Amino acid sequence: MFAYFTIAFPLSAVGYELHNTTSALAHLRSRYVRIYLEPNEKWLRVISRRHYFKSLDRLDEMGIEPDGFSGAPVFAIYQTKDMQCHFGLCGFITDANAEGVCAVYPATDLLAALNGILVKKSFAALVA
């Protein structure tokens, strides 16, 4: 693997202002952070069926709060033995802490769940 990273929108970096009279959106502020990660096998696995990653830098030292990271995708850029480079989706962050440890729900599990829903829906349409 070459690199793991996430692009997240910390809650502290998102804000908006409304017009006083119409409550229409006057201003929207939404900043993202890109954080490089590494697999973390040493972290206590408190949530089952998750991959664990740790930020290469401590979030608290960077002035970043992990609140709002849930749902952020985790990507991988990697090279195979035949020297081809690839980009892939590892999963989605479900939990994170100030030390930069993230619990990630695997993309393969999400795909399996979605395939089950799609198959059931397709089957229901055939039977109806």
Q: Which domains occur in the chain, in start order? A: 3-127 (2.40.10)
3-state secondary structure at position 103: strand
Q: What is the pLDDT of residue 125?
A: 63
- Calculate ∠ Cα 97-93-102, nearest 5°: 35
Q: Which residue has the higher pLDDT, 120 or 100?
A: 100
* pTM exceeding 0.85: no
Which secondary structure element, helix H or strand E, spans residue 52, and what is its range?
strand 51-55
Give the SS3 label for residue 85: strand
pLDDT at 128 over 70: no
| CB neighbourhood size of 71 (10 A) | 11
pLDDT in tens, 54-103: 999 888 888 888 888 999 999 999 999 999 999 999 999 999 888 888 99
